Chain A
């Protein structure tokens, strides 16, 4: 048993952490969030060229660093700590995850573009009626000559306004929630027939409603096997959920640290509020949630290749969803009024924590999934 990072992994964590703490300040982030495009392409370029992290989980043959899920975990925790809005999760973890798993010409073509920063991927999977059920799809992809024609509406597609490509789940067969008949496509974002309604999200990102109207694509856009895509989608979403747990870990770490700092500085009744036992115990409870988030993230990440992957990922996400709520709410509570002001970072960590709670399924969803997979 060994929970230590390799030297390379430690270097990766340190270099990403240092870059973000030097350049990705709260003010810089808010300037990007409030700007027209809502993100900072310069940061993305630095991720690709200066840090090389967009290649972290890819094989050296593709120009990557030869890492995998642990490298994603390391980067995602740093992303959580700095509240990074740029779409590493969507592009590298999810887009890269699908391409790595499927292999072939599409992977050979697009993975190098991910690594050099020229491809930005958004994951168009959720639908208005489907909640967290990955198979609940009304979007269709009908065979048409050598290719397919897509029609449908995808909901709350994070990073869609910035994307060069969409990964789209659609039905090539089967009924609405059937396990078979699901296919996955990688489609250029500017394909004819795609329209978007873009908007900011409450946690500082950008997303879109994405509409497909008779979008004709070639057969070479298919990822994996037609009609048998659901296990691949579940695998990649589990990998993304583990990465999201890592981001959540970074977020709750900062919420806890920030609260601890504040409780040492803020004086009421003639002493630092951190001297009050009721707040000490609360911060101890927050600390325990942070530690367990670290543990569960590691557990899920290390078990992504095991047969009962799904159950382990759901246990981690359930735990971290509950922990994110507890830590976030109490960070705000201990800060008092300034905790709900938009002017300080703490409230923005709380908002991101609140969205992580339900992203790829909330605590109830993952509890239910865990129960359904229990011995």
Chain B
């Protein structure tokens, strides 16, 4: 047992720290600090910088262009990124469909898709949830009927609706779970399709969420024609890919590094905000009611961090991410949500003003202190974390069944 980084790890940390300091786009940093909605170009600018350095495929094997980093190096990279307030790359290509393709895909699929996922040339979105298939994902109804085209080739005709599709408005491709056999048990009739968003019959409709953001969408598929070679893995075996992906998705979901930064931000706010009570005025962080909550949050975050480190250590000794990762998802999202609660509490009255954002020609400053105007929208928005990626209720079911054997 050793809690300390090796000299090699420390050298790696310094390299990462220097690279981020030298290369992270200054404009992006300012935008994040102001809480501006990021454009497609913003998301891609850091992705492309990391891709050029060979650091986009953090968890990917070297043979597919990944870094081949150890779990400790991945941990260090996440820490350093959060420390510098650098954005996390979007997970849909790099952490979701990419690993599915390099694990289950054909050589042609690997050659066609993986380089463009790494480079950021293709933007991917996830077509999983449907209006009737949320927690019960296997209940999905979007159907794909196979037929032979006039050209003699095999195709699927896809009809249905996906929902809560994050950033589909920017996407070039969508990976979809579709029903290819309605006559068998729900999990046994699902296939995993890769669909070009430019295909005729696809309509993207925005869903505006509580903070006014356009982050998620409905994706409607009407007679969308997809070549059979865009199916990953066997027909009707898509659930295998889905389960693999869900386990993979959960490994980064604890968000420890970002939450550490979140706690630091709360402390900074609470040192600035003055808590006036009676004839006394002191920094909010000196208020024992508030300080205790920050302290408990830090302690819970430490517990999460060391639980994640144990999981990482298990992974590097050959165990894949198992159902224990549900613990990381539950505790990680609870902590992320508590950070937003404390931020909203900390800003007091200035949680209420709604700032529409820096539109074209509108550079009016938000109301109240700089850190205040995103507090309420972020608090509202982060309620999603205990819902998405398998709700926290579903995660508890997984632990009960898979870990406790109940």
**Residue A342 CB within 8 A of the other chain:** yes
**Residue A367 CB within 8 A of the other chain:** yes
- Given A156-B352, A177-B276, A202-B354, A354-B393 contact (CB < 8 Å): no
Q: Is the CB of B368 within 8 A of A341?
A: no
Q: Which of these, A129, A199, A342, contacts B355 with CB under 8 Å? A: A199
Q: Is the CB of B383 within 8 A of A332?
A: yes
Q: Is the CB of A362 within 8 A of B345?
A: yes
Interface of B, helix, strand, loop or mixed by DSSP: mixed
- Given A337-B384, A339-B383, A354-B380, A155-B349 contact (CB < 8 Å): yes
Q: Which residue of A lies closest to B382 (CB)?
A: A340
In chain B between 350 and 406, which residues have their CB closer than 8 angstroms to a CB of chain A? 350-356, 367-368, 376-377, 379-381, 383-384, 386-388, 391-393, 396
Q: Is the CB of B367 within 8 A of A197?
A: yes
In the assembly, what is the distance between CA of A123 and CA of B352, in Å? 15
Q: Which of these, B132, B276, B349, B354, contacts A200 with CB under 8 Å? A: B354
Q: Which of these, B278, B383, B388, B391, contacts A133 with CB under 8 Å? A: B278
Instruction: Report the stretch among B2-10, B203-211, B238-246, B296-304 that lies at the interface.
Output: B203-211
A6: chain B residues within 8 A (beta carbon): none
Q: Which of these, B163, B345, B367, contacts A337 with CB under 8 Å? A: B163
**Residue B134 CB within 8 A of the other chain:** yes
Q: Is the CB of A156 within 8 A of B349?
A: yes
Q: Is the CB of B386 within 8 A of A199?
A: no
Q: Which residue of A lies closest to B293 (CB)?
A: A364
Q: Which residue of B lies closest to A268 (CB)?
A: B136
A155: chain B residues within 8 A (beta carbon): 349-350, 368
In the assembly, what is the distance between CA of A122 and CA of B278, in Å? 24
Q: Is the CB of A372 within 8 A of B278?
A: yes
User: How far does the Cβ of A332 sit from chain B's closest Cβ, in whole Å?
Assistant: 5
**Residue A77 CB within 8 A of the other chain:** no
Q: Is the CB of B380 within 8 A of A351?
A: yes
**Residue B306 CB within 8 A of the other chain:** no
A3: chain B residues within 8 A (beta carbon): none
A207: chain B residues within 8 A (beta carbon): 352-353
A368: chain B residues within 8 A (beta carbon): 277, 287, 289
The interface bits of chain A over 53-82 (1 if a CB of B lies within 8 angstroms of the residue's CB, else 0) are 000000000000000000000000000000
**Residue A343 CB within 8 A of the other chain:** yes
B391: chain A residues within 8 A (beta carbon): 333, 336
Q: Is the CB of B354 within 8 A of A268?
A: no
**Residue A126 CB within 8 A of the other chain:** yes
Q: Which of these, B139, B209, B273, B393, contacts A340 with CB under 8 Å? A: B209
**Residue A103 CB within 8 A of the other chain:** no
**Residue B49 CB within 8 A of the other chain:** no
Q: Is the CB of A333 within 8 A of B380?
A: no
In the assembly, what is the distance between CA of A296 and CA of B207, in Å? 38
In the assembly, what is the distance between CA of A178 and CA of B134, in Å? 56
- Given A203-B352, A350-B210, A367-B289, A131-B384 contact (CB < 8 Å): no
Q: Is the CB of B139 within 8 A of A268?
A: yes
The interface bits of chain A over 135-169 (1 if a CB of B lies within 8 angstroms of the residue's CB, else 0) are 01000000000000000000110100000000000
**Residue B281 CB within 8 A of the other chain:** yes
Q: Is the CB of A130 within 8 A of B210?
A: no
In the assembly, what is the distance between CA of A355 and CA of B349, in Å? 9
Q: Is the CB of A341 within 8 A of B208?
A: yes
Given contacts A132-B348, A268-B136, 13 further A-B contacts (CB under 8 A): A131-B276, A200-B353, A200-B354, A202-B376, A269-B139, A337-B129, A340-B210, A342-B209, A342-B210, A350-B383, A354-B379, A354-B380, A364-B289
A residues with a Cβ closer than 8 A to B are 126, 128-133, 136, 155-156, 158, 176-179, 197, 199-203, 207, 209, 267-269, 276, 278-279, 325, 329, 332-333, 336-337, 339-343, 347, 350-351, 354-355, 358, 362, 364-365, 367-368, 372
B residues with a Cβ closer than 8 A to A are 129, 132, 134-136, 139, 163-164, 207-212, 216, 273-281, 287, 289-290, 341, 344-345, 348-356, 367-368, 376-377, 379-381, 383-384, 386-388, 391-393, 396
A-B contact pairs, 24 of them (CB 8 A): A131-B274, A132-B277, A133-B276, A155-B368, A156-B367, A156-B368, A197-B367, A199-B355, A200-B353, A201-B352, A202-B351, A202-B353, A207-B353, A268-B135, A332-B383, A337-B163, A340-B210, A341-B208, A347-B209, A350-B380, A350-B383, A351-B380, A354-B376, A364-B345
